[in-house]
Amino acid sequence: MGTSPRSRWSNRDDSSYQGGNSEAKTRMKPQSHDRAQPKADSSAPMLLVGQLTSLVTLSMLYAGNESSGSESLDGSSVWGLGGTALLVTILFGLFSFLFLFRVSISGKAPKRRRRIARIWLLASILATQLT
């Protein structure tokens, strides 16, 4: 009687089995353990800072704008605070935009957080234009 295929392949001392196994091991790429390491995701604090700075910017814009009166039809407004307050308002608006934009294009941020950042960015731009 001959040997069955099952007994032939289960024999670990077979030279053909060991040769094929060593070739398979050399062809395989070494495993990277990057998945075991936690990836740093700073999108949540950046989103929060972006939202807070946009609220501060909008409140400073609202406090600084003085409308010229109800009799003018064009609705022009004048900046009532000093130049330093205008500069601070512009810087807060710039930081808000950069933080929210960074979260909205981040590849590591979850989709929900990116969507929130985009909506908040559009809403703050719209509110800035209406102020």
How many angstroms separate the CA atoms of 1 and 108, rounded? 62
pLDDT single digits (tens) 73-105: 566 778 888 889 899 999 999 999 999 999 999
Model pLDDT, residue 121: 93
Nearest to 48 by CA among 102, 89, 6: 102
Q: Which residue has the higher pLDDT, 29 or 53?
A: 53
How many angstroms separate the CA atoms of 126 and 131, rounded? 9
Whether the predicted pLDDT of 36 surpasses 60:
no
Whether the predicted pLDDT of 72 surpasses 70:
no
pTM score: 0.61
pLDDT-derived band of residue 130, with 50, 70 and 90 as boundaries? confident
Can you tell me which residue has the tokens 């900046």?
Answer: 79
Domain range annotation of the chain: 43-67+76-130
pLDDT above 70 as % of the chain: 62
Q: What is the DSSP string of 30-92?
A: PPP-TTTSPPP--HHHHHHHHHHHHHHHHHHHHHHEEE--TT-SS--EEE-S-HHHHHHHHHH
